[in-house]
Amino acid sequence: MLAHRLCLRSGCLRPGAGATNTPSAPTYYDGTPVTGPFNSEIMEDVLMMKAFGIPNGIYWIDRPWGPGKPWGYDDFDIDEQRLPNFAEMVKWLDAKQTKTVLWIAPFFQGKMMKEALDKGYTLAGQVRPVSGNNYPMVDLTNPAAKAYWQDGIAKLLKLGVAGFKLDRGEEDIPESGPYKASDGRTIRENRNAYPPMYVKAVYDVAKKFRGNDFFLMPRAAYTEVRLIRCFGEAISAAHRKRLRASIIAIQRSAVMGYPNWGSDICGYNQQLLEQEVCGRWLAFGALNPIMEVGPTRNVAFWNLPREPNYDSQLIAIWRLYARLHERLIDYNYQYAQEATKTGMPIVRPLFLVDPAAPAAWSNWWTYQYGRDLLVSPIWEKGKRTLEGLFPGRLELA
């Protein structure tokens, strides 16, 4: 799966992070007037990636993409001020071999919220958070409630949307008290069962409209989520410790049965990007099954809110590693198939490859990627050398 400056995240329209409320900026980053019919930030991203020779397969639009304040997620409608001519824009992206993916979460907003509350379609016992976010959540054990929520997803699929980032699913779910879900289970029993139901509900409606041609990336999982096996990690800041956490997380995900994984390369809510950390993260991300790039506030490496605004080094690093990731498409697919058939993950911690070697249990920063590649990312700033480990049972082609 390719995704750069959005495979998931590019053109992120996130409230509280500088999201635009205007139809389009009057100019591109360099002052060129905008004359195109679509959101200028999306057009800029796509055209700049093409100009730089940066491959991209998915353009993921984060929230807010719908009407309504503050969350921009009302009724699964498209906000034509933020995203004018949306259906035509999806076709434009398709013509550039780029699929459109949207952010979703399992709660109601807008008119749907009022109707869902009136009909008892929401989770019993859920207390509305102070922020109002993630509320009210759909009771997925109620067939009518699930179908009502799926009808909203269907509206987006009919517009040509090819997939979804399934955010949330594990937050603000009631888990204590006398309440029961619609099917009679206690809310305690419903707690861990909720993420798999969420994934299955989206999977079913996407399959109905698109056959096998769709992409889902959940954030939350539990033991029953075997349907997707593709997950993303939300990383908030471009800090070296966050990169370190991602190197560990991809290996943990692999041995837990989720081989297709990616992180928010360079973080998503801190714009004072550490250039060195971000560059190292791009290198690491190229050797992940999912490469997702995209700082928020609707900026890219040519329009950063710090000096240099136009970061030619990060653009060059991004191009280099995006192209490497693209060259590995067949390789990644081969080992994704193997993971499905045998359970052997794409990312293989050293203790899985060579369990008899004591160092394989302590060298947490190195992993085998498929059968033929050994990856040992540097995550510390200023570091130029790294102790490596070649496992004795490393398979060579």
Per-residue pLDDT reduced to its tens digit, 322-378: 999 999 999 999 999 999 999 999 999 999 999 999 999 999 999 999 999 999 999
pTM for this structure? 0.90
Q: Looking at residue 2, what is its pLDDT?
A: 37
For 65, counting Cβ atoms within 10 Å of its Cβ (0-12 exposed, 13-18 middle, 19+ buried), the class is buried
Q: Looking at residue 274, what is its pLDDT?
A: 84
| φ/ψ (deg, to 5) at 311 | -95, 90
In the numeric block, the tokens 């990644």 are attached to 332
Alpha-carbon gap, residue 124 to 133, rounded angstroms:
17
Q: Looking at residue 202, what is its pLDDT?
A: 97
Three-state DSSP state, 273? coil
Residue type for position 138: V
Alpha-carbon gap, residue 173 to 134, rounded angstroms:
9
Beta-strand (E) ranges in 45-113?
58-61, 99-104
Q: What is the CATH number of domain 40-343?
A: 3.20.20.80
Q: Looking at residue 4, what is its pLDDT?
A: 36
Nearest to 61 by CA among 210, 172, 207, 162: 162
Strand partners, 348: 368
What b/e string do you get for 248-272 counting C-beta neighbours within 10 Å, with b at 16 or more? eebbebbeeebbbbbbbbbbbbbbe
Residues of the chain with pLDDT below 70 are 1-24, 224-238, 269-272, 295-298, 393-397
Q: What is the DSSP letter of 137?
A: B
Q: Looking at residue 10, what is its pLDDT?
A: 35
Alpha-carbon gap, residue 227 to 23, rounded angstroms:
37
Beta-strand (E) ranges in 54-209?
58-61, 99-104, 163-166
